[in-house]
Amino acid sequence: MFWDTLSKPFFVMAPMADVTDIAFRALVAKRGAPDVFWTEFVSADGLYHTREIQKMRDAENPLMRELAFEENQRPIVAQIFSSSPEMIAYATKLVAKLGFDGVDINMGCPDRAIERQGCGAAMIKNPKLAQEIIRVAQGVSDLPVSVKTRVGYNKESLDEWLTVLLEANPAAITLHLRTRKEMSRVPADWELMKKAVSIRNKVNPRVLLIGNGDVQDLEDGRAKVAEAGCDGAMFGRAMFGNPWVFAGKKSEDTSLAEKLAALTELAYGFEKLSPPKNFAILKKHIKAFVTSFDGAAHLRAKLMEAENAAELEAILALYCRNGTPEFI
């Protein structure tokens, strides 16, 4: 399995809904690939029911577009979520059939709509089911199964929760170093990673541990991993506006022209490759790429009005020709 072939420390792409889709991954792959790519999370129940209700074959299921990837986006792990072992079994088999390199189960998402279904972070409160779900996924294909979760629900509970996960023997566990209750409001607590590593070493040393939360860039990732003693780090928001991050670049290392070109490429990629979604989804990328220079706010506001890639490109072309944000 691919996890065994990674040299340590390794640095991986975080799964991010409405961010790490095929077009964004293409942007990153071209500029410096992570050691592992991740999809956005996909509802296992959604995959199943869309197919059942519409009596369609897997290949006709519109949700399948969320599981599209290109060959230079490997190794790639598909992240799924469900509180139903049957749905996890169905989605894992599907993901295996599609040629993914691994399957990851989300046990950390704090979104109320997800938690109401007993999924995401709610799984932390249901350790028996969490173990069952991991084991079911392991049983239905040869794909390595990993888990992404948090350090606890209302309070840090690594002794209990991490032990439960380790006992199910996943290939890797990513720990977002905050509790569910903390959401993203406090800094990630990398000190806890040391505790996690010592639990892992005692309970199941074969499981890889990946730290997540507030990693700024490769240098910061290396330092955090070295200090904590884990195997790798996962980068989320550090990728915003910086698809060069896995190549070791910091945001200030790239010119504005390169950033605007990357944004344009992303917009066209989004139209061509991504599942059909509102162009407004690109707003968070516009905010991230168009920042920290004189007139950025003005240009950003203009770009936010773009309804497609051609309009975005036209606004940027006007900006670049005039070289000044006062053009409008």
Ligand X SMILES: Cc1cc2nc3c(=O)[nH]c(=O)nc-3n(C[C@H](O)[C@H](O)[C@H](O)COP(=O)(O)O)c2cc1C
| Active-site residue set | 109
Q: Is residue 238 part of the contact set for ligand X (CB under 6 A)?
A: yes
Output the six-digit token pair for 237: 């928001």
Contact between 176 and ligand X per CB under 6 A: yes
> Residue 257 and residue 242: Cα distance in Å, rounded?
13
The DSSP bridge partners found for residue 149 are 107, 175
Stretch of 190-198, 207-215, 258-266, 294-302 contacting ligand X, by CB under 6 A: 207-215
Q: What residues are paired with 173 via a beta bridge?
A: 147, 209
**How many chain residues interact with ligand X (CB under 6 A)?**
21
Strand partners, 152: 156
Does 235 contact ligand X by CB under 6 A?
Answer: yes
Binding of ligand X by 286 (CB under 6 A): no
Residue 209's Cα: distance from chain center in Å? 16
Quote the least distance from Cβ 236 to ligand X, whole Å: 3
The position carrying tokens 């590593």 is 197
Residue 293 CB contacts under 8 Å (≥ 6 apart), including other chains: 256
Q: How many CA atoms lie within 13 A of 82 on its CB side?
A: 24
Q: Where are the alpha helices (DSSP H) in the chain?
A: 22-31, 44-54, 85-97, 112-116, 127-140, 158-167, 191-203, 218-228, 256-273, 283-289, 296-303, 309-322
For residues 80 to 119, the per-residue mask of contacts with ligand X, x marking binding by CB under 6 A and - elsewhere, is --------------------------x-xx----------
Least distance from ligand X to the Cβ atom of residue 120, Å: 8
Site string for ligand X, 34-53 (x = CB under 6 A): ------xx------------
Confirm or reject binding of residue 290 to ligand X (CB under 6 A).
no
Q: Which of 12, 79, 18 is nearest to 279 (CA)?
A: 18
Q: Positive or negative CA dihedral for 196, 201, 204, 207?
A: positive
214 binds ligand X (CB under 6 A): yes
Q: What sign for the dihedral angle of Cα 245, 251, 257, 263? A: positive
Shorter beta-carbon distance to ligand X: residue 75 or 211: 211
Interacting residue with ligand X among 25, 31, 51, 148 (CB under 6 A): 148
**53 φ/ψ angles, rounded to the nearest 5 degrees:** -60, -40
- Choose between 15 and 232: whose C-beta lies nearer to ligand X: 15
Task: Write down the least CB distance from residue 235 to ligand X, Å.
Answer: 5
Beta carbon of residue 317, minimum distance to ligand X (angstroms, whole number) = 29
Q: Is 232 in the site for ligand X (CB under 6 A)?
A: no
Nearer to ligand X, 17 or 304 (CB): 17
Least Å from the CB of residue 79 to ligand X = 6
Which of 3, 10, 11, 15 touches ligand X by CB under 6 A? 15
Start-to-end C-alpha separation, the chain: 54
Residue in the shown chain whose Cβ atom is closest to ligand X = 236
Tell me whether residue 213 or residue 232 sits nearer to ligand X (CB atom): 213
Residue count (the chain): 328
Closer Cβ to ligand X, 259 or 285, answer by number: 285
Q: Residues 6 or more apart from 218 whose CB is under 8 A from it?
A: 11, 245, 246, 247, 248
Least CB distance from residue 294 to ligand X, whole Å? 28
- Can you tell me whether residue 140 is helix, strand or coil? helix
The reply to whether 244 sits near ligand X by the rule CB under 6 A is: no
From the CB of 322, what's the least distance to ligand X, in Å?
Answer: 33
Q: Which residues bind ligand X (CB under 6 A)?
A: 14-17, 19, 40-41, 79, 106, 108-109, 148, 176, 212-215, 235-238
